[in-house]
Amino acid sequence: MVFRKVVPKDKELFDKYKSKTSKYSENSFVTLYLWDKYYNLHLCEEGGFLFIRFTIDGKNQYLFPMGEGDVKKAFQKVMDEEEKITLRFVTDVQKEFIEQNFPNEFSFTLREDLCDYVYETQRLMTFSGKKLHGKKNHVNYFEKTYAYTYETVTNEVAQKECRELLLRWVDDKTKNLNPIEHDAMEKVFDNFELFNLIGGVIRIEGEIVAMTFGERLTEDTVLVQIEKAREEIRGAYPMICKKFLENEWADTTFVNREEDMGLEGLRKAKESYCPIFKTLKYQGKRI
């Protein structure tokens, strides 16, 4: 197979092959491409399938082939690429397929740091129930304390206000912006219209204090890739979550808020919204 470097316009090609039902964040070209500086993405379209390759620290890793048809034959093509091939972001369904069709060929390790957190849209729009009572209290405080407005992000707002603010907020927090995260955020704004992203912001006295960006992953699922807010403003985070879903995604059933990357603080934050399940992801290595 001949692989070539991925470019932004490949979203159209990727969407041709993507699953119509998978709730995994890797079912999104945008999610993969945002982290291209780390993943070093390449693709190959061959035989009715799309093949994706990562190169991390000089070592290749592959996604399970995307497409319909002779899946076993397509997977054999991946296996023929390298003797000790490594697979990344293997789903539980894909893992079962490999074990049934290529028994004793691979070992699998569950990557809990890469598992996505999936929630019910309605619950995050209302924060109903005892477990989310704290979030509801924060939202109520925000609504009573601030004269705020919510608005859908236009390309102009994304390019001017959001780009400058998002980078400044992260830089102020970390004092040393991670170049990979910096690159990912720049890609959001550089390709805002091309990627058909939807964004939302909350303003207080005209100033943006919270912002979020996402896209429709499947017919019933929204994928949220970015969510940032002024941490010193109580309720800003749950409020932008609530308003984004209310205004843009009320017709969906599920919200994928991606993984925690193994960061304890991020794990606690994502668990505090009470996910209904996590997508299982494995790393596979040929024995």
| Domains present along the chain, CATH in parentheses | 4-115 (3.40.630.30), 117-257 (3.40.630.30)
36 pLDDT more than 60: yes
Instruction: Give dist(CA 65, CA 60) in Å, integer.
Output: 15
Average pLDDT, integer, range 13-36: 97
* Cβ neighbours for 11, distance < 8 A, ≥ 6 positions apart: 29, 30, 33, 194, 195
- Which pLDDT score is estimated for 176? 53
Angle (CA) 275-280-283 rounded to 5° is 145
pTM metric for this prediction: 0.94
Q: How far is CA 53 from CA 69, 129, 142, 167, 239, in A?
A: 20, 43, 45, 29, 38
Question: Cβ atoms within 10 A of the Cβ of 227, count?
Answer: 18
Q: Which of 142-146, 153-157, 160-164, 267-271 has the lowest mean pLDDT?
A: 160-164
